[in-house]
Amino acid sequence: MERWQTTTGSPEATRDLGRLLGEFAVAGLVVLLNGDLGAGKTCFAQGVASGLEVSSASPVTSPSYTLLNIHQGRLPLYHFDLYRLSQVDDLTDLGYDDFAEGDGLTLVEWADRMTEVLPASVDVFIEHSSEQQRKLSFKALDGRGRDLLDHLAKDASFSDKPV
């Protein structure tokens, strides 16, 4: 599947969808998260961490000030946040190329702030539909991404709509 769209009705449901993605994740997966401030990117990332079995003793928060947080789970989670990134070179300085498509899952919040295209498996755009409701649009960018969307669309108990 190349594209998939779904709607969640609460922060918990957004987290649950992220958890499902984390459960299906394989090493080398790169997920780009985009959306307005407060759209639910970090909430989704918390779910991904849960699906990767990251310990609750290592809480997943927005790494806006540190740019990168690493969490250990079934696979390592490399959680980048580009909100405060000032230059394209900053990402290289963080060692992004060493993490992306490596031994864990690389998740990048605010990926649309990059001027260059990042190699990735899935692009996720999250937008407010209402106070609690979020619309999540997924686009597969490689074979791993297509496999992931096939699993999500099959197993998600949300109001999913292929696009």
pTM of the model: 0.89
Neighbours of 48 (CB within 10 A): 28
| 3-state SS class at 150 | helix
All structural domains of the chain, each given as residue ranges with its CATH number in brackets, are 3-162 (3.40.50.300)
Give the per-residue pLDDT at 81.
85
C-beta separation of 138 from 149 below 8 A: yes
Report the half-sphere exposure of 31 (CA within 13 A, side-chain side).
Answer: 28
Give the tokens for residue 151: 């699993």
Tell me phi and psi for residue 93, to 5 degrees. -60, -30
Give the per-residue pLDDT at 163.
43
d(CA 109, CA 67): 10
Give the per-residue pLDDT at 138.
97
Give the per-residue pLDDT at 157.
67
